[in-house]
């Protein structure tokens, strides 16, 4: 992208203060030499303006800048026969300031030419703010609504050939979007595309990841389904705690894998991407995206809580015995309502909070909707923190249970040794 450093020599005709200024330069075009100079001036101006074409890839910048460029080099001339005619309309100081924000990429990596400095009073006069200026009104109206698709103008030449000129279009891998929250930093009006995201690497790498996700989710679905089915072989033993916890872990994992396989029923880009081929971020998700998120997040978190309950149950079974004389399984059964409240209600609250915050994002590579794809902070709060908390509790309880089990095995071994010596 080339940024023009200085205007062509013909730019001197734009001197004035900007509102409606008298035009005192009368060009005589009666001689061939003058006509030739005029044509060369127009050619030089067009060549200079063409050097700004790289900014067409920043739609919001180009939308504001094009009025400043056109009104500077091709200002509107008006001659109504009055005492103050003829006069020209030049860009205003407000118009110059308006391009700074959407075109901040120019200031960050290049520099504005001297004639385009807003302090240039000969072109961008602040006195003109009190005058009516058609360019100013045009700029304000055009900037009210951001573009959603590239604007294409069609012209027909004298030979009948149709030519199309794209006024603005984001350069790949960016696409046009009107969602300000998705705009790529410094490139207003453009966002990273959803399908074929550049961070996913080469196309072959993306296909490998998608194939792995597809077959991995199907395999996990079959394995967990078989695990759930085994509990129905011995219903009597499967209803006892902590064995019952393993059943709930398997069931939750099965439903979580079901959320991963949603992409097998629909095209993954249909529910992970928006219509403008940008990532589905936050609000605006469809029912399929919501179903994928709910199945994966809620049941994955519930499975983690049931693992903690299972570890706690093992601690009760293999830990120190109480003097009440009750069986550990009976003690656990009496606490089953507490276990169900913890394992089902807490993940439900987390899920409702994410839905209320509208932080469900789509990912076309993995073919799922989840939390924290666009904002990692939410992933840390709603995924990393609860998972870490559960893993710590699981490790503490299981360590305590293994110590108790090792103690039981040691005592049993001593009893067997004594019995063998007596016999």
CB atoms within 10 A of CB 258: 19
Question: In this prediction, what percent of the chain has a pLDDT beyond 90?
Answer: 20
Mean pLDDT in residue range 225-232: 85
**DSSP symbol at 10:** G
pLDDT for position 27: 33
Cβ atoms of 168 and 53 closer than 8 Å: no
In whole angstroms, give the CA distance from residue 373 to residue 361.
Answer: 6
User: Where is pLDDT greater, at 33 or 372?
Assistant: 372
Cβ atoms of 76 and 133 closer than 8 Å: no
Q: Hey, is 324 helix, strand or coil?
A: coil
In whole angstroms, give the CA distance from residue 326 to residue 181.
Answer: 60
Tokens encoding 179 = 């969602």
Strand 152-156, strand 76-78: pairing: unpaired
Domains defined along the chain, listed by start = 9-150 (1.10.2000), 198-422 (1.20.1070.10)
Strand 21-22, strand 368-371: pairing: unpaired
C-alpha dist (Å) from residue 233 to 150, 228, 252, 255, 355: 62, 10, 19, 20, 38
Mean pLDDT in residue range 60-71: 82
pLDDT confidence tier of residue 135, bands split at 50, 70 and 90: very low
CB atoms within 10 A of CB 16: 20
Is the confidence at residue 383, as pLDDT, over 50? Answer: yes
Half-sphere exposure of 143 (CA within 13 A, CB side): 20
C-alpha dist (Å) from residue 177 to 50, 100, 145, 165, 351: 25, 20, 12, 20, 29
Is the confidence at residue 306, as pLDDT, over 90? Answer: yes
Interhelix angle for 346-357 vs 287-318, to 10°? 150
Is the confidence at residue 12, as pLDDT, over 60? Answer: no
pLDDT for position 65: 84
Is the confidence at residue 180, as pLDDT, over 60? Answer: yes
Give the chain's largest Cα–Cα span: 134
Q: Hey, is 275 helix, strand or coil?
A: coil
Q: What is the DSSP string of 93-139?
A: HHHHHHTTTTTHHHHHHS---GGG-TT-TTTS-GGGGGS--HHHHHH
Cβ atoms of 192 and 365 closer than 8 Å: no
């Amino acid at each position: 992208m080339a940024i023009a450093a200085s205007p062509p020599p013909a730019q001197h005709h734009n001197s004035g203060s900007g509102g409606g200024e008298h035009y005192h330069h009368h060009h005589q075009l009666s001689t061939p030499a003058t006509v030739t100079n005029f044509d060369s001036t127009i050619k030089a101006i067009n060549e200079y303006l063409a050097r700004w074409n790289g900014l067409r890839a920043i739609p919001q910048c180009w939308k504001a800048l094009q009025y400043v460029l056109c009104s500077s080099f091709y200002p509107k001339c008006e001659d109504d026969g009055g005492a103050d005619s003829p006069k020209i309309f030049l860009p205003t100081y407000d118009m110059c300031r308006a391009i700074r924000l959407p075109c901040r990429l120019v200031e960050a990596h290049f520099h504005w030419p001297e004639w385009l400095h807003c302090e240039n009073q000969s072109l961008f006069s602040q006195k003109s703010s009190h005058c009516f200026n058609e360019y100013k009104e045009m700029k304000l109206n055009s900037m009210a609504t951001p573009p959603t698709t590239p604007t294409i103008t069609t012209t027909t030449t004298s030979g009948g050939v149709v030519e199309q000129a794209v006024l603005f279009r984001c350069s790949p891998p960016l696409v046009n979007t009107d969602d300000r929250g998705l705009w790529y930093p410094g490139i207003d009006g453009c966002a990273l595309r959803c399908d074929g995201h550049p961070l996913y690497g080469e196309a072959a790498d993306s296909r490998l990841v998608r194939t792995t996700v597809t077959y991995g989710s199907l395999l996990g679905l079959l394995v967990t389904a078989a695990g759930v089915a085994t509990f129905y072989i011995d219903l009597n033993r499967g209803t006892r705690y902590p064995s019952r916890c393993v059943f709930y872990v398997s069931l939750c994992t099965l439903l979580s894998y079901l959320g991963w396989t949603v992409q097998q029923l629909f095209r993954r880009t249909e529910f992970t991407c928006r219509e403008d081929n940008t990532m589905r971020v936050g609000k605006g998700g469809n029912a399929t995206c919501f179903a994928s998120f709910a199945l994966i997040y809620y049941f994955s978190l519930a499975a983690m809580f049931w693992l903690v309950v299972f570890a706690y149950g093992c601690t009760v079974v293999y830990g120190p015995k109480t003097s009440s004389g009750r069986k550990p399984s009976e003690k656990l059964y009496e606490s089953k309502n507490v276990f169900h409240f913890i394992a089902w209600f807490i993940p439900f609250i987390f899920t409702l909070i994410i839905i209320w915050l509208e932080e469900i994002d789509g990912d076309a590579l993995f073919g799922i909707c989840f939390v924290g794809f666009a904002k990692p902070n939410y992933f840390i709060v709603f995924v990393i923190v609860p998972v870490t908390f559960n893993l710590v509790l699981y490790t503490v309880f299981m360590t305590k249970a293994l110590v108790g089990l090792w103690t039981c095995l040691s005592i049993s071994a001593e009893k067997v040794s004594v019995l063998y010596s007596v016999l």
